[in-house]
Chains A and B, each alone.
Chain A
Amino acid sequence: GQGVEQPDNLMSVEGTFARVNCTYSTSGFNGLSWYQQREGHAPVFLSYVVLDGLKDSGHFSTFLSRSNGYSYLLLTELQIKDSASYLCAVREPNYNVLYFGSGTKLTVEP
């Protein structure tokens, strides 16, 4: 199976940045995805990374280090509406099933 770990909560300030961490220990790896989930809504896809390094997608950037089993989602120029849960998911190699972390609840304060 896949052990995917995320901190439960993160707080930051509007206009600054937030880094959501994710660590994983896997029996196989075929990429890592990030999803945003607002209260009472379904997860929405943000990013997928499979190679090491930083993938800059503007407001959201993602970093992956496969040797360390580590990824982060970086949100810049935070807005209040970025307050949500952010879920990290490791993609299993054989059938591409996603194994999710418990999610990090990000609160952006004024």
Chain B
Amino acid sequence: NAGVIQTPRHKVTGKGQEATLWCEPISGHSAVFWYRQTIVQGLEFLTYFRNQAPIDDSGMPKERFSAQMPNQSHSTLKIQSTQPQDSAVYLCASSLDSGTGGYEQYFGPGTRLTVL
């Protein structure tokens, strides 16, 4: 079991460029979560998929952020027109079916995004 895989581990973009972050959840986990972590704000929830369907994106900045889960083996988080305030570590987590328990979320190593 390789755990949750995130790529790239580090990404540097210029202001206004697009960034796409990838997550491969643990095989058999039906729930996938995206979080963002900064020193100032801490760990913030962004969005959540269950069985590939988007369930809750209440934490997502609506204008430039989007997330998809085209199949059960990967999810992407896309940030358009990146801004310096988007600089953060983006963490993906997966868990078993959260509707029947699945309280333990397994986190990936994160992608450190730096917007210059």
B31 close to A96 (CB less than 8 A): yes
For chain A, residues 1 to 53, give those with C-beta under 8 angstroms from any C-beta of chain B.
Answer: 31, 33, 41-45, 48
B98 close to A95 (CB less than 8 A): yes
Q: B70 in the interface, Cβ–Cβ < 8 Å? A: no
A95-B48, A95-B98, A103-B42 known; A42-B109 Cβ under 8 A: yes
Q: A80 in the interface, Cβ–Cβ < 8 Å? A: no
A96 close to B98 (CB less than 8 A): yes
Question: Interface code B78-116, partner A: CB below 8 Å = 1, 0 otherwise?
Answer: 000000000000010001001100111111111000000
A97 close to B56 (CB less than 8 A): yes
Q: Which of A33, A42, A95, A101 contacts B42 (CB 8 A)?
A: A101
A87 close to B110 (CB less than 8 A): no
For chain A, residues 91 to 107, give those with C-beta under 8 angstroms from any C-beta of chain B.
Answer: 91, 94-103
The chain B residue sitting closest to A89, CB to CB, is B43
A42-B91, A43-B43, A87-B43 known; A97-B107 Cβ under 8 A: no
Number of A residues contacting the other chain (C-beta, 8 Å)? 21
A31 close to B103 (CB less than 8 A): yes
A97 close to B43 (CB less than 8 A): no
Instruction: Report which residue of B45, B56, B99, B110 has the largest number of chain A beta carbons within 10 angstroms of its beta carbon.
Output: B45
Instruction: Report which residue of A31, A48, A91, A95 has the largest number of chain B beta carbons within 10 angstroms of its beta carbon.
Output: A95
A43 proximity list for chain B (CB < 8 A): 43, 91, 107
Q: B55 in the interface, Cβ–Cβ < 8 Å? A: yes
Apart from A94-B56, A96-B31, A97-B48, 16 more pairs, CB < 8 Å = A41-B109, A42-B107, A42-B108, A43-B43, A45-B105, A45-B106, A48-B103, A89-B43, A95-B48, A95-B50, A95-B98, A97-B45, A97-B56, A98-B105, A100-B43, A103-B42
Q: What are 26 A-B pairs at a CB distance below 8 A?
A: A31-B103, A33-B103, A33-B104, A33-B105, A42-B108, A42-B109, A43-B91, A43-B107, A45-B106, A48-B104, A87-B43, A95-B48, A95-B50, A95-B98, A96-B31, A96-B98, A96-B99, A96-B102, A97-B56, A98-B45, A98-B105, A99-B45, A100-B43, A100-B45, A101-B42, A103-B43
